[in-house]
Amino acid sequence: MKRILSVLAFIYVHFLFISGCRNGNSQQPEKTSRDTAITIKNAFSGLFFDSLRMENYLKQRAVPDTAKQLFRNFYIQRNFQYAWFDSSGLAEQAQNFWSLQSNYIDYSGDSAIYNVYLNRWMDSISSNGVNSLPDSTRLGVEWGLTFQFFRYANRAYSGRRSLSATDLEWFIPRKKANLLSMLDTLVKEKGKEISRYEPVNQQYQLLRNQLKRYYDIERDSAWNPIQITQKKIKIGDSGLIINKIRRRLLLTGDLYYSDTITLFDDTLLLAVKRFQSRYGLAADGILGASTLRELNKPINDRIRQILVNMERMRWVPEQPRGDYILVNIPEFKAHVYEAGKKIFDMEVVVGTTSNNTVIFTGNLKYVVFSPYWNIPPGILKNEVLPAIRRNPSYLERNDMEWYNGGIRQRPGEKNPLGLVKFLFPNNYNIYLHDTPSKTLFKQTKRAFSHGCIRISEPVRLAEWLLRADSIWTTERIFSAMHSGKEKYVTLKQSVPVFIGYFTAWVDADGRLNFRDDIYGHDKKMIKKMFD
């Protein structure tokens, strides 16, 4: 029997190396020096294995060199001491990690890291104890847990490698995690405060909490479509349909208590407005086609929407510190942060569905007052040149001129960049700018531009960016904007700009927000993640 278990353990460890290391980091880890200060006398477990046994095994396996070196480094720095077992059996850190990754699989639905063989051995240890395992099997579980941690951390911290960020038109660099340092800390601290080893982006944690609530709704509550016979339902209306609306808003958290009133009263009015606000709709309290569509969206669709955005949250850095600007395309808003805290936000206009605003990050370096507009080649070819052919006076009428083989528009009221623009040099020719078309900011859906981002409060942003320079008073900013002469101002310190795409998030008031997938990026991710 022991021989059979040993053979099974050999097959199992082979499987772990093949299936668990394919997605290792492509960058070769540096070799780690052996810590000879760790001996049997001072080791926490007193359990060691032969390094030659590990090396001979690795030589026989078709495992990427990066995964081999990461694994090797972990045990070299431990002087080949067991990490997951001690003299009493399965160590505390092993049990804590196992609970952590099992919980991750449960709430994320991400079964790709589930390892049936390791689960069987862990179940066996739980039922029969460690002493029921031959030494070779115990070593297999030891090595298996190490690779399972690397798989979990790679997945949970950096996201699914099968989802190519560039294929999904996401050009913000993915964050990188030091897996070796993370595992070393977990083992040394015995996995205490295990939540530290979950993805650390704050929004991720907030979305995860909301996800649990939506799983509960899916499991415990009916979520049937609400059918109405009239075009709109508003305050003062009555009927049995009002009860269905109340029950739905109670589930979504917008109605705070349940009752059986069939009248559309003030309490329901406030609940409808709260719901509309969370979904980016006009908060008029009238239940029309748009509000009804959002109320009726299947609960599983909402769960998937949350999961897609949690996946995106794994890609982004931890909560940035210092000053930065975050533009969320589906929200049509820019958020300005100072010393890591949001100080104001503003409405923005983003690119149309045929001229998407690109998802990327850059550093804002220049404020340009009274800017020229150098007309992009596409607009020049498709719009301006045909207009010139139709009307030879088109250039003069629109304050345009030929310049360096192209056409530019002079500074002034007609200029589509408005009176100021904010540059963060990039390969996509995207920047923030003022606009003469102020009325568009009153729309709830604001995808109207050719790709650049129009902002509703350019003066306020200029004041904030130049606040450290005493010569740039509000009066001087206003004067420069209306001078008619282009002026570049270089910031003393550049400000990071993140242009993101999040259709689900939790706001500062703890409210879960949803927005339309205006560019179809969610749809692409859902197909890759769930189909």
Active site residues: 433, 452
Distance CA 120, CA 15 (A): 14
Distance CA 133, CA 350 (A): 61
Query: Quick one: which H or E segment has residue 503?
Result: none
Residue with tokens 């339902």: 233
- The identity of residue 271, as a single letter, is A
Distance CA 138, CA 124 (A): 11
> Would you give the DSSP letter of residue 221?
S
Strand-pairing partners, residue 409, are 373, 400
The answer to whether 434 and 419 have CB atoms below 8 angstroms apart is: yes
Query: Quick one: which H or E segment has residue 116?
Result: helix 116-128
Query: Quick one: which H or E segment has residue 345?
Result: strand 341-351
The residue among 198, 162, 191, 192 whose CA lies nearest residue 177 is: 198
Strand-pairing partners, residue 367, are 422, 489
Distance CA 69, CA 75 (A): 10
What are the angstrom distances between the C-alpha of 337 and each of 25, 369, 463?
Answer: 32, 23, 14
